[in-house]
Chain A
C-alpha cells in the first residue's frame, strides 16, 4: 500500500498442529503422492483444479499457495478470480478446463452426492482414459492437502511462489 494510512487487520492465527513435524513420514508420503498424481496432468489446468477444490474446502493456506503458484506460472488474475463462479464465466475457460472443473466440484463435494454420470461423461469426452485417471487422482490429492490445511488450521500468507516445487 502506498498511502500512509495504517489499516489494522485482525490478528493472525497460529496453526493448531504442526502435523508435518509430528508425522514427518506422513508428510513424505503426501509429497510422494502429490508427485505421482500430477504426472500427465497439464500444469496450468492442475493449478486451476487445486484452487477450485481449495475454494470448496475453504483451505486458506492452499488458496494462498496455489493462487501464488498460478500467478507465477503466468495464469491470469481474471481466470483465478472467476474460478469462484466458473459455471457463470465459462468463456474464461476452454471446454476441457470446464469439464475438469465440473469433475473437481463433483469429486470434492462427495458427501452430498455421487459423481453424476453427466459430469463424468463430460470429462471422459475431453480426457483420454489414463489422463482422466490422473485427473481424478490429482483432484483427490488436493482434497487431501485441503484436509490437512483446514484441520490443522495452517496459516496462509507466508507462502512464496515456487516454494514447494
Chain B
C-alpha cells in the first residue's frame, strides 16, 4: 500500500517558515546543515539526508565532516567545540523519548551560543525533526530534491 503524498499547502508553508526563521536567527548556514543532517541520521530520514547532503556541499561543508557525522563523538579534529556542542544538543533534543536533555549538554551549548542564538538553534533542531517526521511517516523517497 502506498502512502499519502498529501501535505496541506498551509501546513507546508508553516513548516518552511519555521525553518527559515530558525536558520536566519542562527546565522550559520554550514553549522545549520550539520545539525540538520545529524537529526536526519537519527530519525532515518532518507529524503532529508539526500536533500541536505546536497545543500551542505553547496554551503562548503567538507566531505570529511559529512563522512564522519554519524560518529561525530568519536572524532578529534573534525568538528570544533562550537560544532560539537551543537551536535550534542541535536542528539539530545532529537532522541527525546529515551531521556531528558541533560544539564551538561544544555550548558555546553549555552557556553557557545548566546540566548538568542541558542533559541534559534533549538528551533532549527525542532524544525528538522518536523520535516523528518513528515517525510518518514509518508515514506517520501530520496532523490526528489534538486538544488
Residues of A within 8 A of B (CB): 16-17, 19, 22-23, 25-26, 29-30, 32-33, 35-37, 39-40, 56-58, 103, 106-112, 114-115, 117, 120-121, 124, 129-130, 132-134, 136-137, 139-141, 143-144, 146-148, 150-153
B86 to chain A, nearest CB (A): 13
- Would you call A32 and B17 a contact (CB within 8 A)? yes
A120 partner residues in chain B, CB cutoff 8 A = 1, 3, 137
Answer whether A144 and B130 are a contact pair too, CB < 8 Å, given A130-B8, A133-B7.
yes
A20 to chain B, nearest CB (A): 8
A31 to chain B, nearest CB (A): 9
- Would you call B97 and A22 a contact (CB within 8 A)? no
Answer whether A111 and B95 are a contact pair too, CB < 8 Å, given A17-B119, A26-B22, A26-B120.
yes
How many A-B residue contacts, CB cutoff 8 Å? 155
- Would you call A137 and B119 a contact (CB within 8 A)? no
Residues of B within 8 A of A (CB): 1, 3-4, 6-8, 10-11, 13-15, 17-18, 21-22, 25, 42-44, 89, 92-98, 100-101, 106, 110, 115-116, 118-120, 122-123, 125-127, 129-130, 132-134, 136-139
B83 to chain A, nearest CB (A): 18
- Would you call A110 and B11 a contact (CB within 8 A)? no
A117 partner residues in chain B, CB cutoff 8 A = 1
B42 to chain A, nearest CB (A): 5
A-B contact pairs, 13 of them (CB 8 A): A23-B21, A26-B120, A29-B21, A36-B11, A111-B42, A111-B94, A124-B1, A133-B8, A134-B8, A140-B130, A141-B130, A147-B126, A148-B126
B4 partner residues in chain A, CB cutoff 8 A = 124, 129, 132-133
Answer whether A19 and B44 are a contact pair too, CB < 8 Å, given A137-B8, A151-B106.
no
B15 partner residues in chain A, CB cutoff 8 A = 33
With beta carbons under 8 angstroms apart, the residue of B18, B97, B137 that contacts A111 is B97
B6 partner residues in chain A, CB cutoff 8 A = 129-130, 132-133
Q: Complex Cα distance A33/B106, Å? A: 26
